[in-house]
Amino acid sequence: VICTNATYHGNTAAVAQLSSIFEPAEGYGPHIRTVRWPDQYRTPDMTDVQTLTDIYLDDIRQAIQSLKEAGIPFAGMILCPIYANEGLPNIPEGYLEQATKIVRDAGGLIIADEVQAGFGRTGKMWGHQSTGFVPDIATMGKPMGNGHPLAGLVARDELVDRFREKDMYFNTFGGNPVSCAVGNAVLDVLENENLISNAASTGEYVLSGLRKLAKKHSIIGDVRGKGLFFGVDLVKDHISKEPAVEETRKLINDMKEHGILISSIGEFNNVLKIRPPLPFNKENAELLLEGINHCLSRL
Ligand SMILES: Cc1ncc(COP(=O)(O)O)c(C=O)c1O
């Protein structure tokens, strides 16, 4: 299985193997290959987007080749469609379509981990819709139950049928009525309160506010985001783009004192992770932007 070099997909035995930001205690098995996530901000010596895209696509080709040379059959590639844990990069145009093709041509499946990106977060129902590719399997959790433990998996019939032919699968809590009612309620609220279009419109508003803050505070190197999910990349300076890790940690704590909970993400842990609830409105957005401005001024 291929995953990126700065990701997290969970902590059961199989997915901990795919979590490159926290090394599993038992180490990595020989069946895992990591590839660089498609970064357009801190890029390896690139000349243009096409060259950059080719560099990252080549990583995938090499990973597949390396599995082949080791005699390990290729299963596929898992990715968060918006690369949330990697730091919400702006994904080079065409990268995901071509990556998907390379994986499928080699007989692999594309798994979209919608645990962070799904259920309207990006201003579309699914993260993969917002970054323009169609997965073979989608896994979902977290927002699916809005706090209640609920998770799911969607795949085409033939894949699920093959699994069922090989494995006898059941579990005690699968499909229990309480969790199903919660899941239905989440879908109702998303629909009835127009939360997906709210994520898109309020998200744009916050993004433009963050961009204004970037003009004022030089520590902000880059502002990225989709819907109601934002990444603010903090740097020591704009030329070296050296991650301002310590300042990020301080800012998050100052924000907490100020009554606003945010976190950090990214390969270097220097990207402010801002992921407000989906009913977030412009008034809430003003509060957030004022809070960030205030805490940045005190850094
Ligand atoms: C992208 C992604 N996938 C999977 C998970 C794991 O979800 P869970 O803790 O419900 O297993 C997380 C957790 O934060 C995540 O960020």
Which residue type, as a one-letter code, is found at position 62? Q
Which residue type, as a one-letter code, is found at position 269? N
C-beta neighbour count of 30 within 10 angstroms: 9
* Nearest protein CA to atom 4 of ligand 1, as residue: 9
Distance CA(23)–CA(66), nearest Å, equals 21
Chain-centre distance for alpha carbon 180 = 25
Q: Per-residue confidence at 43, pLDDT binned at 50, 70, 90?
A: confident
One DSSP character per residue, 52-83 reads HHHHHHHHHHHHHHHHHHTT----EEEE-TT-
9 lines ligand 1 (CB under 6 A): yes
Q: What count of residues does the chain have?
A: 299
Task: Please give the distance, rounded to the nearest whole angstrom, from the Cα atom of residue 116 to the centre of ligand 1.
Answer: 7
Distance CA(119)–CA(161), nearest Å, equals 26
The secondary element (H helix, E strand) that includes residue 226 is strand 220-226
Distance CA(211)–CA(221), nearest Å, equals 10
What does pTM read for this prediction? 0.96
Give the mean pLDDT of the chain: 96
List pLDDT tens digits, range 112-135: 999 999 999 999 999 999 999 999
pLDDT at 65 > cutoff 80: yes
Average pLDDT estimate for 78-93: 96
